[in-house]
């Protein structure tokens, strides 16, 4: 019997605020049975520590990731089951010889969640200053799906130009903008909406949010 070829989604986490978005996307990928290659930038470790209190360590990444995925968007531990992380692989941000740095390494595409404006600029300009940016460049050159969930407000003209450049290069520019038509009652609902839209752009099935069905007020509780 031929062993199934592992073809993961690369999830890149940059230093923008919004680490709960990344956690929700990773949980969604794992729940869908997708393989995941994870790249956590150095700047994002500071954001993760600030937003969750978790110190993400290379030598203990699996334990730290499990703790991160178990937290809700409100920071409460034990909100979720982390899921089976056996098919999650971690690559250090400084490892430019990592598998995903080469176009010959098979992946389905890359999801950058959240994407800081510095990350957007680096990818748009092809700087490849760390593994996250390098993988994004490879994803574009190989014509694979790249979803960039930019998280910043307001946006200046230079960042807007970079986002247009990414769109023209074939990336999906997906601002981390929650919607309210799905009947959100908790911060987690807003986070899951954005994560769900990221997974929609990747073509990964999920049940993270209630979809619009064309009926006004259908998300409100019935009297």
pTM of the model: 0.95
Cα Rg, the chain, nearest whole Å:
17
Assign 223 a pLDDT band (cuts: 50, 70, 90): low
Rounded Cα gap, residues 144 and 178, in angstroms:
26
Closest residue by Cα to residue 11 from 31, 36, 30: 36
Of 38, 65, 43, residue with least CA distance to 54: 65
Average pLDDT taken over every residue of the chain: 95
Alpha-helical segments (H) within the chain: 19-31, 42-52, 61-70, 117-125, 131-141, 157-169, 187-202
* Segment among 4-13, 54-63, 122-131, 213-222 with least mean pLDDT: 213-222
| Choice among 12-26, 73-87, 154-168 with the minimum mean pLDDT | 73-87
| 3-class secondary-structure state, position 31 | helix
List of residues 6+ apart from 8 with CB closer than 8 A: 34, 35, 36, 37, 87, 89, 107, 108
Find all residues with CB under 8 Å of 213, minimum gap 6, and list them. Answer: none
pLDDT above 70 for 4:
no
Give the residue-averaged pLDDT of 88-100: 97
């Amino acid at each position: 019997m031929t062993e199934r070829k592992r073809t993961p989604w690369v999830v890149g986490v940059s230093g923008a605020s919004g680490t709960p978005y990344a956690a929700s996307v990773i949980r969604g990928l794992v729940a869908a049975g997708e393989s995941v290659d994870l790249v956590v930038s150095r700047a994002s470790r500071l954001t993760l520590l600030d937003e969750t209190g978790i110190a993400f360590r290379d030598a203990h990444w699996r334990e730290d990731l499990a703790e991160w995925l178990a937290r809700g968007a409100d920071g409460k531990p034990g909100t979720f089951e982390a899921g089976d992380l056996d098919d999650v692989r971690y690559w250090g941000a400084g490892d430019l010889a990592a598998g995903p740095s080469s176009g010959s390494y098979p992946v389905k595409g890359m999801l950058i969640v959240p994407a800081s404006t510095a990350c957007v600029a680096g990818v748009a300009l092809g700087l490849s200053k760390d593994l996250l940016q390098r993988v994004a460049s490879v994803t574009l050159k190989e014509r694979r799906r790249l979803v960039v969930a930019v998280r910043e407000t307001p946006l200046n003209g230079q960042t807007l130009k970079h986002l247009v450049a990414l769109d023209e290069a074939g990336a999906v520019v997906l601002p981390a903008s929650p919607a309210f038509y799905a009947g959100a009652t908790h911060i987690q609902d807003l986070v899951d909406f954005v994560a769900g839209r990221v997974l929609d752009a990747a073509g990964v099935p999920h049940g993270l949010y209630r979809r619009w069905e064309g009926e006004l007020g259908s998300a409100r509780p019935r009297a």
